[in-house]
A and B are shown apart, each in its own frame.
Chain A
Amino acid sequence: GAGVSQSPSNKVTEKGKDVELRCDPISGHTALYWYRQSLGQGLEFLIYFQGNSAPDKSGLPSDRFSAERTGGSVSTLTIQRTQQEDSAVYLCASSFGGGHEQFFGPGTRLTVL
């Protein structure tokens, strides 16, 4: 498939545990975004990577959240010491660059018990 892929599709974890969510962007896309979608809410911007530039982390809700992008391709979003309010769908998107059409993956549904 040539689209954005995310894994796992579903993750259930216990409060206090750490989780890692993975995103494989479309090949050739230099920009990568992470969003969070809670029930009844729109997408909340988390972080933006563009090429080798410093990422825009302004949307990360707390220091328990971090993300990295290795080799300009795959990205992982890590949530440490998960809380119940972290339960949401985490969406990844990629594009040819900032301002270009964003293509979204299917998301990872995270449930924190």
Chain B
Amino acid sequence: TQLLEQSPQFLSIQEGENLTVYCNSSSVFSSLQWYRQEPGEGPVLLVTVVTGGEVKKLKRLTFQFGDARKDSSLHITAAQTGDTGLYLCAGDGNDDYKLSFGAGTTVTVRA
């Protein structure tokens, strides 16, 4: 069973549209990370959120950490074809090195 549940599993949208990916858990995490992974590559860290209720913006990407530090969301505004990839969330629990990953959301942005 996944400690972190991501939804939706797949998302296909037209360039210029907005999208939101969710990451939910029944566990509390000290921090939560979002990664993007392209085919044949390892995941690349996008952002780390550590404070409940925190909102971080990275250009067209907005990340939110739930008040209870159990859930998070990633919102992309005006998606571009370069946003295509597998988006993974990962939670950092009691051990500061052992991350628990969600299964990921495959995002496809069509031109």
Contacts and interface: CB of A to CB of B under 8 A. Distances in A.
A102 interface: yes
Contacts of A91: 42-43
B59 interface: no
Interface residues of A, number: 26
Nearest to A38: B103
B7 to A, nearest CB: 13
Interface of B (DSSP majority class) = loop
B22 to A, nearest CB: 14
A31 B99 CA distance: 14
Interface string B2-13: 101010010000
A106 interface: yes
A42 B45 contact: no
Given A104-B43, A107-B42, A98 B97 contact: yes
Contacts of A42: 2, 4, 6, 88, 90, 101-104
Give the residue among A41, A42, A95, A104 with the most B Cβ atoms within 10 A.
Answer: A42
B40 interface: yes
Interface stretch (A14-22, A43-51, A64-72, A74-82): A43-51
Contacts of A103: 42
Contacts of B102: 42
B101 A106 contact: no
Contact of B43 (A40, A43, A45, A95): A43
Given A42-B104, A43-B43, A107-B40, 18 more contacts: A33-B97, A35-B101, A41-B103, A42-B90, A42-B101, A43-B90, A48-B97, A48-B98, A56-B97, A59-B98, A98-B95, A101-B48, A102-B99, A103-B42, A104-B41, A105-B42, A106-B42, A107-B42
